[in-house]
Homo-oligomer: A and B are copies of this chain.
Amino acid sequence: MIKIAIVGFGTVGQGVAELLIRKREEIEKAIGEFKVTAVADSKSSISGDFSLVEALRMKRETGMLRDDAKAIEVVRSADYDVLIEASVTRVDGGEGVNYIREALKRGKHVVTSNKGPLVAEFHGLMSLAERNGVRLMYEATVGGAMPVVKLAKRYLALCEIESVKGIFNGTCNYILSRMEEERLPYEHILKEAQELGYAEADPSYDVEGIDAALKLVIIANTIGVKASYEDVEVTGITQITPEAFQVAAEKGYTIRLIAEVSREKLKVSPRLVPFHHPLAIKGTMNAAMFKTDTAGSIFVAGRGAGKEETASAILSDLYEIYAGPR
């Protein structure tokens, strides 16, 4: 019986809970029986014997869970085998670092969707996991359901990855695709994106390139380029004009916010992309192009955000930990 604790019970945590409820049969067929033994957010929690369906309902109706114990207490003392750490990303790592560290120290596997801790302490946390004989999985931190982490770590493990160029922020890609189509000013399209729910009221985390840079740091460390957030040269999309799209189009190019890592480069910036290049992808999609020595160029694309897509990436990590060879 696999005992699962979920910490962080906002969109992602709730999405995981929903999939665990809805897909219990398939999941148990693949990885064996499981039970959610604790759920916590920063203010409240529930653990022991409880109904996950009830916990979801209580959180939605009251904003709280049953008990006073906070996330950190649950991480330290609840009975679980794997921690799903789904709290909200903070650029400095935030409380998530403590949740992950405490769980690893107790010899528990961790699956996280939280970029902050990995950006702040990638190698420290990885070696803590190794020393304790457990896994720290983080597919959901980059590109939602797009399989970039496992592609880099497993599938391309025997290749040299020379560079990764990616579109890691759906908000920026939506705004740029729409500017390309409509030739309207940035502010106009940003407003549209906000109305559609593709951009936050304060969009700076996305449009300044911060989110893409955090993901780039995670990918860089994954492929063996040691990097921290300060190492990334970041330019956002707020200064791009409809005229820039016009000039680019005349030469057969569009503009996309590209995050790139190689031995020489760690950079997030608006770049010219030929119309027919795979990275000229439109809408809220995320995409990544891996350049390798022997496997050539491998391209992947998928929904980079969304409750179900992120939860689905978390489940793929659970599968990787617990499923046998296939």
Given contacts A282-B276, A294-B311, A296-B306, contact A320 B147 (CB under 8 A): no
Most chain B CB within a 10 A radius of its CB, from A19, A295, A300: A295
Number of interface residues of A (CB under 8 A): 50
When distances are taken between beta carbons in the complex, the residues of chain B under 8 Å from A297 are 302-303
Q: Which residue of B lies closest to A15 (CB)?
A: B294
Given contacts A19-B294, A297-B302, A312-B295, contact A147 B155 (CB under 8 A): yes
**Contact between B295 and A309, CB atoms less than 8 A apart:** yes
Task: Answer yes or no: A146 CB below 8 A from chain B CBs.
Answer: yes
Given contacts A147-B155, A157-B316, A158-B27, contact A294 B278 (CB under 8 A): no
**Contact between A301 and B303, CB atoms less than 8 A apart:** no
Within the complex, which residue of B154, B156, B281, B326 is in contact with A157, where a contact is CB–CB below 8 Å?
Answer: B326
For the residues of A in contact with B, the DSSP-based class is mixed
**Contact between B157 and A323, CB atoms less than 8 A apart:** yes
**Complex: A234 Cα to B12 Cα, angstroms:** 43
Task: Answer yes or no: A145 CB below 8 A from chain B CBs.
Answer: yes
**Complex: A282 Cα to B278 Cα, angstroms:** 10
Task: Answer yes or no: A308 CB below 8 A from chain B CBs.
Answer: yes
Q: Ordered nearest first, which 5 A-B pairs have the shortest CB separation?
A: A145-B295, A296-B303, A295-B312, A299-B301, A294-B312
